[in-house]
Amino acid sequence: MARVLCVLYEDPIAGYPKSYARDDIPKLNQYPDDTTLPTPKKIDFKPGVLLGSISGELGLRKFLEEQGHTFIVTSDKDGPHSVFEKELADADVVISQPFWPAYLTAERLAKAKNLKLAITAGIGSDHVDLKAALQKGITIAEVTYCNSISVAEHVVMAILALVHDFIPSYQWVIKKGWNIADCVSRAYDLEGMDVGSVAAGRIGLAVLRRLKPFDVKLHYTERHRLPEAVEKELNLTYHSHIDSMVSVCDVVTINCPLHAETEHLFNDALINKMKRGSYIVNTARGKICDQDAIVQALESGQLAGYAGDVWFPQPAPQDHPWRSMPHHAMTSHVSGTTLSAQARYAAGVREILESWFGGQPIRNQYLIAEKGRLAGMGAHSYTAGNTTGGSEAAEKFKKK
């Protein structure tokens, strides 16, 4: 029998919910590209409940324990004395979320003598040292498409919040003020602006589709160019190189995975090629942007605003400069873990486990690595490098 080690974020401060704002969530049968949603044989949860925190347990405990597996759930993931590190040595399967990632560094993988399968409950497996995992022949899987639309909706919200400078206006209401001039002195219309997406995969394309009705000029750069029919439908301008795109855009939204080629892609040099007063929205991964370059660009006025839902490391230390930099709209990596998305990625994790324990192939679209090489979506989107360097700083969050 297997030892399954699952790392989830902490329960709400007020305790695990006894009731919810809505009685249900819409039922979907397929994604926009006609791919079917996760299809486990059964689920042991009600869609729309909090599954991503430690008490929610992704709805997996009954399923795993009925089969005789040991299921360990913790939120204590960082540092050599964490529960995760102590339990990792005997774990056969590790489940983690991008929002509260259990970083599988080369050093940790070397201690994980029994580890055979690492599952991302969500999208993005950059918290795993892919180079080291490939060398060990570990299978890596994630629940492709489970929260792509969730993130795309967040991107549109963040763009509008930045351009219209929504957050200061909200703050004046909280302060009992009516300071209209202060509210609008940095507020503009999105209409007519040039908006570019770094990558046009499931999330990037969904963002572009949702932005078309705003009467903006749409641009994108992507290693796999979209079909001509899609470019024509959305009136997209394709750029073969990112430098070309960012130089003409008022808003840039980052929708590519983090890997060796995209780490610190938005550095001083690239940001300085952007139009002065432009905006960046990053819901991909924090490490795609150079931390200090973003701060300096906001302080100098090269950037008018930055909305990031992603940080490095995660959770971000309390003294992380992105918490206090000017003109930001930062959130704590929540875009892909709405209650709607949780129902899909929890079901997807169960589907992967059912396949694994049943000796059946994992759905190809979920695969990142298998048998020592990139596979499935991993072969399409990743490079076999390592982006976990510096993740040990996440332990600083414990030292509040």
Residues with a known catalytic role: 147, 285, 314, 333
Instruction: For residue 230, give both structure tokens.
Output: 């899609």
Q: Tell the residue number behind the tokens 């930001």, with chain if given.
A: 328
**Which of 111, 78, 72, 79 is closest to 95 using CA atoms?**
72
The residues pairing with 139 across neighbouring beta strands, listed in sequence order, are 117
Which residues, other chains included, contact 263 with Cβ-Cβ below 8 Å and sequence gap of 6+? 287, 288, 387
Query: How many Å separate Cα 330 from the centre of its chain?
Result: 14
Instruction: For residue 79, give both structure tokens.
Output: 């540092």
The residues pairing with 237 across neighbouring beta strands, listed in sequence order, are 219
Q: In degrees rounded to 5, what are phi and psi of residue 373?
A: -145, 160
Query: Amino acid identity, residue 342?
Result: Q
Count Cβ atoms below 10 Å from residue 291 Cβ, excluding itself: 18
The residues pairing with 254 across neighbouring beta strands, listed in sequence order, are 198, 282
- Using CA atoms of 368, 370, 376, 381 in order, give the dihedral in degrees to the nearest 10: 40
Helix (H, G, I), strand (E, B) or coil at 58: helix
DSSP state of 99: T
Helix (H, G, I), strand (E, B) or coil at 30: strand
Which residues, other chains included, contact 38 with Cβ-Cβ below 8 Å and sequence gap of 6+? 143, 146, 344, 345, 347, 348, 350, 351
Helix (H, G, I), strand (E, B) or coil at 327: coil
User: What is the distance between the alpha carbons of residues 292 and 241, in angstroms, rounded to a whole number?
Assistant: 24
User: What is the distance between the alpha carbons of residues 47 and 233, in angstroms, rounded to a whole number?
Assistant: 34
